[in-house]
Amino acid sequence: MSTMLTMPKLEMSMQEGTLAEWVVADGAEVKEGDVIYLLETDKTSREIEAPASGKLVQKAEAGEVYECGTEIGEIV
Amino acid sequence: MEQSNLAIEPEVLKAIYGQMARIRAVDKAIQAGLSAGKFMFTYWPMTGQECIPATISQLISKDDYMITTYRGIHDQVAKGVDLYGMFAEALGREDGVNKGKGGSPHISDPSSGSMVTTAIVGAGAPIANGLAISAKERGENRVTIVNFGDGATSIGAVHEAMNLAGAWKLPVIFLCQNNEWGEYTPIPVYTSSPNFYGRAEALGFKGVQLDGNDPASFYKGMKEVIEHVRGGNGPVFVEAKTFRMGPHAGVGDNYNVDKDYLKTKKEQAPVAKTRQLLIDAGICSEDELASLEAAAAKEVDDAIAKALESTVTPATETLTDVFANVDDVPRRGHYPSRPAEGDLPSETKTMSMAEAVLDAQHIAMKKNPEVFILGEDVGDPHGGVFGTNKGLQTEFGNTRVRPTPIAEQAIIGAALGSSIAGMSPIAEIMFTDFFGVCIDQVYNHAAKQRYMSGSATHAPMTIRVQAGGGMGGFGAQHSQSMEAWLLHSPGLKVVYPSNPVDAKGLLTSCINDPDPCIMIESMMLLYTLKGEVPVDEYSIPLGVAKVVREGTDVTLISYGWMLNQALAAAEELAKEGISAEVVDLRSLMPIDYHRVLESVKKTGRAIVVHAAVEFCGYGAEIASTINEELWDKLKAPATRIGAAYAPIAYSNAIEFSQVPGSAHIVARAKDVVKS
């Protein structure tokens, strides 16, 4: 079963966030809890951990702003 | 039990850690799910505060009542709220403990004793008093614990509630989880108090400060507190010192905190510390703890997975749980015809409206030991500033008629909490103008409890309130008609009698109704209008208007003392050959549109009359419905007449002209009939 990664909504006021940097390369194996990307919002920057173990499939470019809920990757 | 030098029994410590692990697993899963975008809801993290409810869980049972706040997921988990029901609720699903209608900030789960969760800071404290009253009066051994953060100590509701609990020695624990932050603002910024527990002493009861991050000492301290309260020694205020490691809302770290300070606090955090203690003391092996944590994680994962699969609460649920009976919910095109009262008991006595109100209360109190009255000055010899409770305290005693501090939030909250526990309180708050100081308890809590809880709990309480205006001399803050405020808050029933017979019958219905009811009593009528009132018990059903004068040319729709102005106007109009029908709404919510529309169908003209400000008033709502429903039958547009858009003036010349009287009604009716 794969796990979809979407731009999270971390705050009531958060509408969008910047996927600042992928820490894990596309196609690499990750373990649940590994930091996979860096997220920046107007309030904070934050390391986002893998919600599951598996192979990371990147589906969005780093350095771009995405609306909350946008699919940015998948762990398969 | 095995002795150790831990100052806590090993099994208890292990059980506390078991709850901490469950809380930690829930917190972690929510933060991970939100971070991954797996689900979206607003979260107020309690990371760092796990020890408090985990410890208390070993000292209370599901029979004890709890109230908490939106930052209370840890409290819910430890109290025993089913995790599937909790996650389904947070995700807005049908299977949520509250049908997905309240969400995580409004959990109400009587099966675990988690009675009320409020998203209004400090508002739980007045309600806790009511739960405690019910436990005390019923001779139950329950304690009520109301959780709130340090930020809540600044709000008036907490002060009012503490003062009342002290005065009445209620079995309630004010549990302040002092996490050093009131939302985004830290303690030295918002208060100069050196501590919070000291405030209890100032109000005449016990306050203690405990380390809420140390399970052994917190267990010992809370054990004493709970025994004190269970023993009938009155309330205790507990300041449980802890630290909130997350932000006010969202996930991650409390980014307002100095980084080094946060690092120190993280090192002192209770979950890891307690875990290490269990290993160091030889109580648990690493394997044992790992399997306990794995079991907690599995319980949480299973609950979330199942909740994500469950059905989203559909829009067809919109109107259910507003009132006990969905038929009472007003909506376009739905105008039920409710049966009117039959013949009333034949034996009567001449009574003023004040005496009729007193009589209804007297009968209800004799019949049901769970009916009680609370409010300012309600005790004898006065029996309330309007004498509507005269003699009741003498007859029924100090717990059935409770004179209160001048603290309307405390009054309404106490009534509300006791009603949630199933009692039938009657709260008197004197003037409608005073809704301003307790409206949060009325419209955010009493009105919404049934809906937010998906009918898991509800508030069968009655509020009696007096309305001035148009009589002169009371000024801008004791003369208002505030019914539109109440009617614009879904969940409140409102009645407004125009005569003593209806006052007695409507109040009886309110007391017996499963929803929160407010009876507005006109000061103009309490002593001036007498009637032949049946002496036995009877009810005037809610939502049933009455044609009190028949006519053919125009329908005057009104209520309360203004109804009497409408009747006087009808008399005048008759002299000029205009036949006015007068409809007394009696109940404003539920409204009887059926009888209103039937009357206007006959006359073809309608004027709604009220003492409240005309602009955005109830008359606008009724006139609009008449115009929409009867457009093709009307001879003139339905209209309304109310007070001028101004505060009530002290000058009689202004007041008597700004509030409509019979002359205003006559003039408008003549215009309408001419047009």
The alpha carbon of residue B221 and the mean position of all alpha carbons in its chain are separated, in whole angstroms, by 32
Counting residues of chain B whose pLDDT is more than 70, the rounded percentage is 99
Q: Do B250 and A10 make contact, defined as CB atoms within 8 angstroms? A: yes
| Helix, strand, coil percent content, chain A, rounded in steps of 5 | 0, 50, 50
Specify the pairing of strand B185-186 against strand B181-182: antiparallel
Q: Where along chain A do its domains lie?
A: 3-75
Closest by Cα among B414, B379, B374, B413 to B395: B379
Helix (H) or strand (E) holding A65: strand A64-67
Q: How confident is the model at residue B2 (pLDDT cuts 50, 70, 90)?
A: very low
What distance in Å separates the CA atoms of residue B222 and residue B109, rounded to the nearest whole number?
Answer: 23
Q: Do B37 and A9 make contact, defined as CB atoms within 8 angstroms? A: yes
Q: Which residue of chain B is at minimal alpha-carbon distance from A5?
A: B36
Q: Report which residue type is found at B628.
A: E
State mean pLDDT over B642-662: 95
**Nearest-CB residue to A69 (from B40, B42, B250):** B40
Tokens coding B379: 């005790």
Q: Report which residue type is found at A60.
A: A
Query: Can you spell out the DSSP letters for B184-205?
Result: TEEHHHH---S-STHHHHHTTS
How much is the ipTM here? 0.75
Burial class of residue B200 (count of CB atoms within 10 Å of its CB; 0-12, 13-18, 19+) = buried
What distance in Å separates the CA atoms of residue B49 and residue B24, rounded to the nearest whole number?
Answer: 10
Least confident range from A4-8, A72-76, B139-143, B281-285: namely: A4-8
Q: How confident is the model at residue B184 (pLDDT cuts 50, 70, 90)?
A: confident
Q: Is the pLDDT of residue B44 over 60?
A: yes
Q: Is the pLDDT of residue B218 over 60?
A: yes
The alpha carbon of residue B482 and the mean position of all alpha carbons in its chain are separated, in whole angstroms, by 18
A7 close to A67: Cβ distance less than 8 angstroms = yes
B274 close to B217: Cβ distance less than 8 angstroms = no
| Residue B312 or residue B7, greater confidence | B312
At residue B332, φ and ψ (nearest 5 deg) are -55, 130
pLDDT tens-digit map of B287-314? 999 999 999 999 999 999 999 999 999 9
Give chain B's length.
675
**Nearest-CB residue to B250 (from A3, A11, A50):** A11
Burial class of residue B450 (count of CB atoms within 10 Å of its CB; 0-12, 13-18, 19+) = buried
When computed from its CA atoms, the radius of gyration of chain A, rounded to whole angstroms, is 12
Query: Can you spell out the DSSP letters for B281-304?
Result: TTSS-HHHHHHHHHHHHHHHHHHH
Q: Is the pLDDT of residue B472 over 90?
A: no
| Helix, strand, coil percent content, chain B, rounded in steps of 5 | 45, 15, 40
What distance in Å separates the CA atoms of residue B464 and residue B483, rounded to the nearest whole number?
Answer: 13
pLDDT tens-digit map of A21-35? 999 999 999 998 889
C-alpha distance from residue A21 to each of A43, A76, B478 (Å): 17, 20, 63
CA triple B263-B266-B272, angle to 5 deg: 145
State mean pLDDT over B77-100: 98
Region for residue B317 given its phi and psi (left: phi exceeds 0; alpha: psi -120 to 50; beta: otherwise): alpha
- What ranges in B604-640 are assigned the alpha helix state H? 618-630
pLDDT, residue B1, reads 42
**Packing angle, helices B593-603 and B618-630, rounded to 10:** 60
**Nearest-CB residue to A12 (from B32, B249, B255):** B249
Helix (H) or strand (E) holding A45: strand A45-49
When computed from its CA atoms, the radius of gyration of chain B, rounded to whole angstroms, is 28
Q: How far is B28 from chain A (nearest CA, A)?
A: 11
pLDDT tens-digit map of B435-470? 999 999 999 999 999 999 999 999 999 999 999 888
B259 touches chain A (CB under 8 A): no
Q: Report which residue type is found at B433.
A: D
pLDDT tens-digit map of B379-419? 999 999 999 999 999 999 999 999 999 999 999 999 999 99
Q: How confident is the model at residue B211 (pLDDT cuts 50, 70, 90)?
A: very high
**Nearest-CB residue to B36 (from A8, A11, A44):** A8
Closest by Cα among B416, B563, B541 to B120: B416
Q: Is the pLDDT of residue B30 over 60?
A: yes
Q: Do A51 and B38 make contact, defined as CB atoms within 8 angstroms? A: yes
Other Cβ atoms less than 10 A from the Cβ of B202: the count is: 12
What distance in Å separates the CA atoms of residue B654 and residue B353, rounded to the nearest whole number?
Answer: 28
State mean pLDDT over B67-90: 98
DSSP, res B385: T
Tokens coding B534: 């049946």
B156 close to B127: Cβ distance less than 8 angstroms = no
B255 touches chain A (CB under 8 A): yes
Q: How far is A21 from chain B (nearest CA, A)?
A: 15
Listed by number, the residues of chain B in 35-54 with a beta carbon closer than 8 Å to a beta carbon of chain A are 35-38, 40, 42
Whether cis (ω within 30° of 0) applies to the bond prior to B590 is: yes
Q: Do B247 and A11 make contact, defined as CB atoms within 8 angstroms? A: yes
Name the interface residues of A facing B (CB cutoff 8 Å): 3-12, 14, 43-44, 46, 48-51, 68-69, 72
The alpha carbon of residue B438 and the mean position of all alpha carbons in its chain are separated, in whole angstroms, by 10
Least confident range from B180-194, B364-378, B545-559, B623-637: namely: B180-194
| Residue B4 or residue B574, greater confidence | B574
Tokens coding B591: 């409204």
Closest by Cα among B197, B109, B140 to B449: B109
State mean pLDDT over B646-675: 94
Q: Do B35 and A14 make contact, defined as CB atoms within 8 angstroms? A: no
State mean pLDDT over B96-120: 98
State mean pLDDT over A55-65: 95
Q: Is the pLDDT of residue B483 over 80?
A: yes
| Residue B100 or residue A8, greater confidence | B100
Other Cβ atoms less than 10 A from the Cβ of B218: the count is: 26
Q: Do A10 and B34 make contact, defined as CB atoms within 8 angstroms? A: yes
Terminal CA-CA length for chain A: 7
Q: Is the pLDDT of residue A45 over 60?
A: yes
Q: Do A44 and B255 make contact, defined as CB atoms within 8 angstroms? A: yes
Mean pLDDT taken over chain B: 96
Specify the pairing of strand B606-613 against strand B639-643: parallel
Residue A5's DSSP bridge partners are A73
B109 close to B153: Cβ distance less than 8 angstroms = no
What distance in Å separates the CA atoms of residue B203 and residue B305, rounded to the nearest whole number?
Answer: 48
What distance in Å separates the CA atoms of residue B320 and residue B322, rounded to the nearest whole number?
Answer: 6
Closest by Cα among B48, B71, B166, B81 to B122: B71
Q: Report which residue type is found at B625.
A: T
pLDDT, residue B3, reads 46
B249 touches chain A (CB under 8 A): yes
CATH 2.40.50.100 holds for A3-75: yes
Tokens coding B361: 């209360």
Tokens coding B59: 């000292």
Tokens coding B442: 């009325």
- Please, what are the domains in chain B? 10-310 (3.40.50.970), 348-534 (3.40.50.970), 546-674 (3.40.50.920)
pLDDT, residue B641, reads 97
**Nearest-CB residue to A8 (from B34, B42, B255):** B34
Which stretches does DSSP call E strand in B131-265?
A: 144-149, 172-178, 181-182, 185-186, 206-211, 236-241
What distance in Å separates the CA atoms of residue B364 and residue B507, rounded to the nearest whole number?
Answer: 10
C-alpha distance from residue A74 to each of A27, A53, B126, B328 (Å): 10, 11, 48, 49
How many beta-carbon pairs under 8 angstroms link A with B? 53
pLDDT, residue B4, reads 55
Specify the pairing of strand B462-467 against strand B517-522: parallel
Residue B60: partners with Cβ closer than 8 Å, 6 or more residues away: B66, B113, B143, B145, B226
Q: Is the pLDDT of residue B340 over 90?
A: yes
State mean pLDDT over B515-526: 95
Q: Which residue of chain A is at minimal alpha-carbon distance from B36?
A: A5
